Every structure is written in structure tokens, then in C-alpha cells.
Structure 1
């Protein structure tokens, strides 16, 4: 029932935000060649892969790796993309993934299809049984600044403590983190 409610809310948000989708789409097309949406294979519930949707924020020749692993991501990020990433507007198309039943608003962020270390650790801790989320407990507790083992520990904690109240807390914390642009690391950096 909770999942169906989220799918309905995501559909309503897609309708309400359609003018914003149109504006962002036009800005992306004006600035660079290529599709408006970026699709990428990610690991979902029960380690089943699915295609995640985002607004394209990078050039089409960008290597298919997590952005924080790029040595110099600034050469790939478009001007519009920089704004979309800073405000997390690039994540809005994931409402489509929620409507399709592949994601929820809150859950562990879906790993890239080739992040086997993250997939294996999450499976070991039972996190793989959850639907991935647009935001999650690890997201609001460090995001890109966290080592993989730390992310998985936050994911495990979410498995144990998850509730509608925790989800509401995570959504609220997400808005604060996005507003402050906290936890975003663009490119490979030493994390201490």
C-alpha cells in the first residue's frame, strides 16, 4: 500500500512539475547536443538491474563511471548541468522510476551496475531487499563524502529502523542538504 501511495504521489508530481520539466529540457537542448534524459543501468531491489532516469548534466562522451571517480569531472559537466547537479534538479526524472515501481522516494541510492563491491556489501547486510530511493539515510549523512563501507552501514541502519517517520525525516533532511549543497563531491578526492 505504501509503495502504491508513493507511485501515485510521483505521478501527481510529474504532472505538477511538467512545466519545469519542459524548461529544463529546453535549456539542456539549447546548450548541448544529445538527449535530454540520461539513462544508466543501476542495481535495484533484489539486485535486479533497471534503467535510472536523470536530466543529462554531462556531455555525451563522458565515461560511464560514478562522477566522483572522474579525475576532472568539470570538463564533462555542462553549464546547465552544473546548476542541475548543485540543486539536485537532475534527479527529478526519477519520479518516472517511482511511477514504474522501480524506486521509492526513500531507500538506499541505487548503485551503478558495475559497483560490485557496493552490491556485494549491501547483499551481505540485507540491504539488497529494499527498493532503491531518490534519497536515503546515507545520502543525508554524507553522500559522496562517505566510503563505501560507511554508506552500507547507514543503509543497514535504515533497514533496521525504517518507518514512515524515518522516511519523513530523511525527506526533510534531504531538502536541507540540497539547499546547503552539502555532501556532493565532484571528481576523485581523498576522503579522510
Structure 2
């Protein structure tokens, strides 16, 4: 157990888990963060959609939550994105320069077409396999987090997202990653990682 008054956790959110601790209404049968994390009064910094996976930072420090969650501070988040088809150079360039979402251009992004699939565990359920349509993986680094932004960006250039995994979050000069975590696992930040957050 962390001895600090403020708590900082990293969690590998699995596919199909709501990014909240309660599940009222029509989502009542969905698993939530509460099914994995038994730490009171911590909340996620930013969100991942139900159908997205990967790294979540959780804390009870409201100032840190605001500093890392607000788009004005532009901290980097990195994603592995499996898309339908093989994007052209023109499509990659468009993603890099920005695409229109709700009549507003997304910020410039870093985009790379990966030559091999990233080292990820299988997803359950697996993505739908369409025999005649190839898939490919992108590495996409953003400095903002609009609603379903990655999916909307790839769809806008003609390559729908099939699987989306956030694999790292930058905290100043330090990068927090999924390394050492399996889906559904969490850990406390190390003293060095906490210090990087407090220096922001």
C-alpha cells in the first residue's frame, strides 16, 4: 500500500470495461473499474471508451487530474491502432496534419505505419476477421483527447479502427507505459514516477 496521502495508479483497462466505478441504467451489466480496483476515491485521468483498451492513470489528486486531463496542457498519449486496410502515404499525411471533427481540425499528430503487429495479448472477443480485407497497425501520438478521437480520425481518412490500445502516457520527460501489466492488472506508481507528476 502506498504511504502517500495522494494515490497514483496505472491500470491496464481490458476491452469491454466501462471507464468508471459505477454502472447505472442500461450499462448495468457491464464490468467497471470497481471490478478490478478496490482503492477508494481515485478517478481516471482522461477516459478510454468501452471498446478501447490500455493504459489508464488514476489518482485522487484533483490538481494532477486537471493538469493531465485538460487539452490545454497538451501532454502526449500514444496509441497502437489496428485499422481496416493499409493506409496510403496521403492518408498518413492527413492524419499527421489534422482532420476535421465537428468542423474543428485536430492538432498535428505523430503517425507511423508499423511493419509488424505490436506485442499485445489477444483481445476477447477478437476483432471480426474479413478474409478479403487486410488490416494494418499504426502508432499514433496525440496531444489532445476528444471524444472517440482516434476512431473518428482514422474513419475520416477511410481506414476504420478495429482495435485501439493506449500504450503510454507522457508525464513531463517520463513515459508511463503498459510494460509489466496484463489486461486487468494495476500497480502503484514508483516514487520516481510520482516525483515526475509532482514536478509538472
Question: What TM-score, normalized to structure 2?
Answer: 0.26
- The structure that is helix-richer by fraction is 1
Question: What TM-score, normalized to structure 1?
Answer: 0.26
- The structure that is strand-richer by fraction is 2
Larger radius of gyration: 2
